[in-house]
Amino acid sequence: MSLVEARGLTKIFRRPEKDPGLRGALKHLVQRRFKDFRAVDGIDLSIEAGESVAYVGPNGAGKSTTIKLLTGILVPTAGTVSVAGLNPNADRVANARNIGVLFGQRTQLWWDLPVRESLDLLRDMYDLSPAFYKQRLERLDAVLGLGELLPVMSRKLSLGQRMRADLAAALLHQPKIVYLDEPTIGLDIAVKDRVREFLRELRADGTTLMLTTHDLGDIEDVCERIVIIDEGRKIFDGPLAEMKDRFARVRRMHLQLAEVTPLEKLAERLPEVEIVGGESPTEVTITFDRFRYTAGLVIAAVLDVVEVGELHLDEPAIEDVVRKVYAGELLR
């Protein structure tokens, strides 16, 4: 069995159905109507030990709810979850020792206490030995620069500092499985890079990672597998490379032509292709569907018309794919 295994995972929230305004609110007091909302709808998911999985989807797709179901915070409406052989809800305490969780939008640090005190409290909760604790703090200092944050009160931390301290808090007990819900949200480039570097190291140590994010840089830097969900359903699950192969249909070729050439002449040779001029008159960008044309065919067609100086081909960007998913353009 996989380390993390979910079968038919479903969570239905009951939401009050109210008409707008005060009238609606008052009406609801006497006439209570509710509507079911399926946040997560029959998700199957298996994660092997040591895998790093990006869990991606538009806002409200059910990413955070899935994480909350996998970590035992929420009780599933239907379906089963098993994490390292435990039911995260029924065996909550035992499961808590195996996992580390970070919700990027929230802190688990005690607001009025220095970071050091928050970590000390967590040390007590996880029963860490003094030697292990010391060693972990040193390690976290090395990768997250934790040392300078220890004496600072949580409420005085900047967002970037807070995220570093929160990462340390989530990983203090060296969990086997780490769930990160938007670990780079709101961070500047420098801190983002630092966090990603840290996540890569975590992966190299053999930690199993699952992260949700809207930042595609996080995915490309850290994950090898991507799961895309929308409206609570899984629409893709596989290696990052496969996703690009399958969904990144559009490729873009940039050409430096030897002489100025009317774009129509190129278009005649290449039907159903988008041809756009560049900054200088000899620059041309050709966008084509890689299931209709190969790069070779495109070049051959252009060479029939004009000599080509330089050319380069854009890598298929996962951004394009995910954008399409978000816009609802991919078929189920």
Partner 1 sequence: MRRVLRIYRRSLGAHLRAVLEYEADFWILVVAGLLFQVLNLVFLSAVFAHVPALNGWSYPEAVLLAGTFGFINGLGPLFFEGTWRLARRINHGELDYPLVRPVNVPVQVISGGIGMHGFGDVVGGGAMIGWGLANAGIEWTPVKIVGGLVMLVSSATILLSLIVIGNAVSFWVGGPHPVFAMTLIRTADMAKYPITIYGVAVRAAFTVLVPYAFISFFPATWVLDKEHSWIGLLTPLMAAYCVWLARTVFRAGLRRYDSAGH
Shortest distance (Å) from residue 96 CB to partner 1: 4
Give the gyration radius of the chain's Cα atoms: 25
Q: Counting contacts by CB under 8 A, is residue 231 touching partner 1?
A: no
Tokens representing residue 49 in the block: 């030990």
For position 112 contacting partner 1 by CB under 8 A, the verdict is: yes
Q: Which part of the chain contacts partner 1 (CB under 8 A), choosing from 21-29, 47-55, 115-123, 208-216?
A: 115-123
- Interacting residue with partner 1 among 29, 30, 36, 127 (CB under 8 A): 127
Binding residue (CB under 8 A) for partner 1 from 124, 259, 279, 315: 124
- From the list 93-101, 195-203, 220-228, 283-291, the region that binds partner 1 by CB under 8 A is 93-101
Contact 154, 111 (CB under 8 A): yes
Single out the segment in contact with partner 1 by CB under 8 A; choices: 110-118, 189-197, 221-229, 246-254.
110-118
Three-class DSSP category at 308: strand
Q: Does residue 64 bind partner 1 (CB under 8 A)?
A: yes
Residue 228 or 255 with smaller CB distance to partner 1: 228
238 is an interface residue for partner 1 by CB under 8 A:
no
Token representation of residue 117: 């005190």
Considering the rule CB under 8 A, would residue 149 count as an interface residue with partner 1? no
Task: Identify the residue among 23, 32, 33, 92 touching partner 1 (CB under 8 A).
Answer: 92
Task: Round to whole Å and give the CA distance between 323 and 314.
Answer: 17
* 288, β-bridge pairs: 251
Q: How far is CA 265 from CA 214, 245, 251, 262, 298, in A?
A: 41, 31, 21, 6, 13
Closest Cα partner for 177 from 283, 88, 256?
A: 88
Binding part of the chain for partner 1, among 61-69, 194-202, 221-229, 253-261 by CB under 8 A, reads 61-69
Q: What is the total count of residues that contact partner 1 (CB under 8 A)?
A: 35
Report the relative pairing of strands 52-56 and 225-230 from DSSP bridges. Answer: parallel
CB 43 within 8 A of CB 227: no
As a whole number of angstroms, the distance between CA 215 and CA 183 comes to 10
**Options 18, 46, 50, 121; binder of partner 1; rule CB under 8 A:** 121
Q: Contact region for partner 1 (CB under 8 A) — 50-58, 71-79, 136-144, 316-324?
A: 71-79
Q: How far is the CB of 131 from partner 1 (least distance, A)?
A: 19
Determine, following the binding rule CB under 8 A, whether residue 36 of this chain makes contact with partner 1.
no
**Quick one: 178 or 219, whose CB is closer to partner 1?**
178
Q: Is 110 in the site for partner 1 (CB under 8 A)?
A: yes
Tokens of 65: 């709810």
Residues in the chain: 332
Q: How far apart, in whole angstroms, are the C-alpha atoms of residue 290 and residue 249?
A: 5
Q: Cβ closer to partner 1: 4 or 101?
A: 101
Residues 275-294 that bind partner 1 (CB under 8 A): none
Give ∠ CA 182-164-47 in degrees, rounded to 5: 45
Q: Is 78 in the site for partner 1 (CB under 8 A)?
A: no
Contacts for 195 with CB less than 8 Å, ≥ 6 apart: 163, 164, 167, 183, 184, 187
- Does residue number 13 form part of the binding site for partner 1 (CB under 8 A)? yes
Of 314, 295, 319, the C-alpha closest to 252 is: 314
Question: Strand 4-16 vs strand 208-212: parallel, antiparallel, or unpaired?
Answer: unpaired
Q: Is position 57 an interface residue for partner 1 (rule: CB under 8 A)?
A: no
Q: Which stretches of the chain bind partner 1, using CB under 8 A?
A: 13, 39, 60, 62, 64-65, 68, 71-75, 92-94, 96-97, 99, 101, 103, 105-106, 108, 110, 112-113, 117, 120-122, 124-127, 153
